């Protein structure tokens, strides 16, 4: 079953087609990675999916409903959670308070459960801004998970993480994969190949290829445009 679909989705900035007629489908329960070189249109595309950027034309469908005109907060209520490329936490609040803000609830069991999912339960009372960058990224994911989303959108989640933290992130996503649908925007190809069920490659605002990790690795157009092999 298709959970998220875009039809000819387009965004034009001053005559430049940042995203140009993208047809995209994400199936319920899968981990789908969106990759491409810098400037390919990934962040703009995700911005339109999440409602942060209005589409110039085309449509966004979620769970069989056209949400193209729906604002971001309505998409959140419909079951989308989006973690930003740059950490978006409340630095002066505790980790538990951050989760409570994301949940809109003071349910302590739910708060601790969300933190436990990412291995931060023992830091619940600590201040978010005092945490390492890696722990802040995990907190942001916990804030998304706490919303019990049907779709979790992760934008460059491993950016700035150490190798050991990336390994922990991979383990986390493997645990979450059976519970929610995940759209992963990621530059680290080892992460993509380890986690994704399917991959869509954007190049110059258009879909260059979609397929399994093996399909994408074998695709000559992708090799030339992005993977740097021939």
pTM, rounded to two decimals: 0.89
pLDDT 10s digits, 82-141: 886 445 789 999 999 999 998 888 889 999 999 998 889 999 999 999 998 888 988 998
**Residue 185, burial from CB neighbour count under 10 angstroms (0-12, 13-18, 19+):** buried
Residue 194: CB atoms within 10 Å = 15
Domain boundaries, the chain: 2-79+151-227, 88-148
Those residues whose C-beta lies under 8 Å from the C-beta of residue 17, and which sit 6 or more positions away, are: 10, 11, 205
Query: CATH topology for 2-79+151-227?
Result: Rossmann fold (3.40.50)
pLDDT 10s digits, 53-81: 999 999 999 999 999 999 999 999 999 99
Single out the residue of 203, 221, 211 nearest to residue 22, CA to CA.
Answer: 203
Q: Specify the range with the lowest mean pLDDT, choosing from 11-15, 24-28, 84-88.
A: 84-88
Residue 200 contacts residue 35 (beta carbons within 8 Å): yes
Q: Are strands 65-66 and 80-83 parallel, antiparallel or unpaired?
A: unpaired
Tokens describing residue 102: 């994301």
């Amino acid at each position: 079953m298709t959970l998220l679909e875009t039809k000819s989705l387009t965004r034009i900035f001053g005559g430049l087609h940042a995203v140009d007629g993208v047809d995209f489908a994400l199936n319920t329960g899968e981990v789908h990675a969106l990759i491409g070189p810098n400037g390919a249109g990934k962040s703009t595309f995700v911005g339109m999916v999440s409602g942060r950027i209005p589409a110039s034309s085309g449509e966004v469908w979620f769970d069989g409903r056209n949400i193209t005109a729906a604002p971001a907060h309505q998409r959140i209520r419909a079951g989308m959670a989006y973690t930003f490329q740059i950490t978006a936490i409340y630095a002066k609040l505790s980790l538990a308070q951050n989760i409570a803000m994301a949940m809109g609830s003071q349910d302590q069991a739910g708060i601790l459960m969300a933190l436990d999912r990412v291995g931060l339960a023992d830091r619940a009372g600590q201040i978010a801004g005092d945490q390492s960058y890696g722990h802040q990224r995990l907190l942001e994911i916990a804030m998304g998970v706490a919303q019990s989303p049907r779709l979790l959108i992760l934008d460059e989640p491993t950016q700035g993480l150490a190798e050991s933290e990336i390994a922990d992130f991979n383990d986390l996503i493997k645990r979450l994969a059976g519970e929610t649908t995940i759209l992963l925007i990621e530059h680290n190809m080892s992460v993509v190949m380890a986690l994704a069920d399917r991959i869509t490659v954007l190049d110059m605002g258009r879909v260059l290829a979609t397929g399994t990790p093996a399909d994408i690795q074998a695709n000559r157009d992708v090799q030339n445009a992005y993977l740097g092999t021939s």
